[in-house]
């Protein structure tokens, strides 16, 4: 699929057929983080996994604004037929919640994967600024070194092939793109007040060993959304779509099949 964005043509990766699922990636990654999940979902759904601005698959300039990312995701959404299922991982969850403030009529169901609704506190903002300084001084590699043990569980860190795949995705990002991500996350609005107003089926998923968005926070997030359900991904850390793709795909397939009416 190709869309017009920021006066450029942007290619959007997709696979499969059926109701549309729009998968939004997290930091410091790109849409390929969803690949193993997308392959499993493509039997039932049209799976769309865009790269956010500043990535190799989307060379339009990043703007250090979460709302700019939301604008881009909304532009992708406009090219899909209703009903659409929206799933956001980590930063993608922040983007998805910000998009829901606009009440997009095509989105019929929402999945929030390893994410949270609260904004950064002062300590969190300071850490974002420190990471931006590292990117400016030393590039992406030290970011990859520091974040990998936080993205994966201890068991996941022993899987050489998995570690190499995640590291490869991180290292192909530009410092400018990751600086934009960090500033966008640092300055994002708190979405806690939105949760009780969400009037669509919602799934919250979190890794059992997630140290960035702990499972207990995921349970609290689901509890705050009327009628939401919570799924814990056993044995996984934060990056559940890459560490436990079969479990994440099953959770999403079961949820979106029920809410979007996909074939079984």
- pLDDT confidence bin for 81, thresholds 50/70/90: very high
Question: What are 94-131's pLDDT values in tens digits?
Answer: 999 999 999 999 999 999 999 999 999 999 999 999 99
Torsion of CA 200, 15, 249, 26, to 10 degrees: -70
Residues whose CB falls within 8 Å of the CB of residue 197, separated by 6 or more in sequence, listed in order: none
Q: Could you give the count of Cα atoms lying within 13 Å of 21 in the half-sphere of its Cβ?
A: 34
Q: Is the pLDDT of residue 239 over 60?
A: yes
Q: Is the pLDDT of residue 211 over 90?
A: yes
Scored b (16 or more CB within 10 A) or e, 63-73 reads bbebbbbbbbb
Q: Is the pLDDT of residue 1 over 60?
A: yes
Which domains, ranges and CATH numbers included, belong to the chain? Answer: 2-260 (3.40.50.1820)
Question: What are 130-141's pLDDT values in tens digits?
Answer: 999 999 999 999
Query: Residue 89 and residue 34: Cα distance in Å, rounded?
Result: 9
Q: What is the pLDDT of residue 6?
A: 84
Q: How much is the average pLDDT of 40-64?
A: 92
Q: Is the pLDDT of residue 4 over 60?
A: yes
């Amino acid at each position: 699929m190709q869309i017009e964005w920021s006066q450029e043509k942007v290619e959007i990766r997709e696979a499969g057929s059926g109701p549309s699922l729009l998968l939004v990636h997290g930091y410091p990654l790109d849409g390929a983080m969803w690949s193993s999940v997308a392959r499993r979902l493509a039997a039932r759904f049209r799976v769309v996994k865009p790269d956010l601005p500043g990535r190799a698959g989307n060379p339009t300039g990043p703007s250090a604004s979460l709302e700019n990312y939301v604008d881009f995701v909304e532009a992708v959404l406009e090219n899909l037929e209703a009903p659409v299922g929206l799933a956001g991982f980590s930063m993608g969850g922040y983007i998805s919640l910000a998009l829901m403030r606009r009440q997009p009529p095509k989105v019929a169901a929402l999945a929030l994967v390893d994410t949270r609704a609260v904004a950064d506190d002062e300590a969190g903002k300071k850490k974002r600024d420190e990471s931006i300084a590292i990117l400016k001084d030393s590039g992406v590699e030290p970011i990859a070194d520091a974040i990998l043990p936080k993205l994966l569980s201890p068991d996941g860190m022993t899987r050489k092939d998995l570690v190499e795949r995640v590291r490869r995705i991180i290292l192909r990002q530009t410092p400018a793109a990751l600086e934009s991500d960090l500033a966008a996350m640092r300055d994002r609005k708190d979405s806690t007040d939105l949760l009780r107003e969400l009037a669509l089926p919602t799934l919250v998923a979190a890794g059992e060993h997630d140290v960035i968005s702990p499972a207990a926070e995921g349970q609290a997030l689901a509890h705050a959304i009327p009628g939401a359900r919570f799924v814990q991904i056993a044995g996984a850390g934060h990056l559940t779509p890459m560490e436990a793709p079969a479990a994440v795909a099953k959770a999403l397939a079961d949820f979106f099949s029920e809410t979007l009416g996909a074939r079984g």
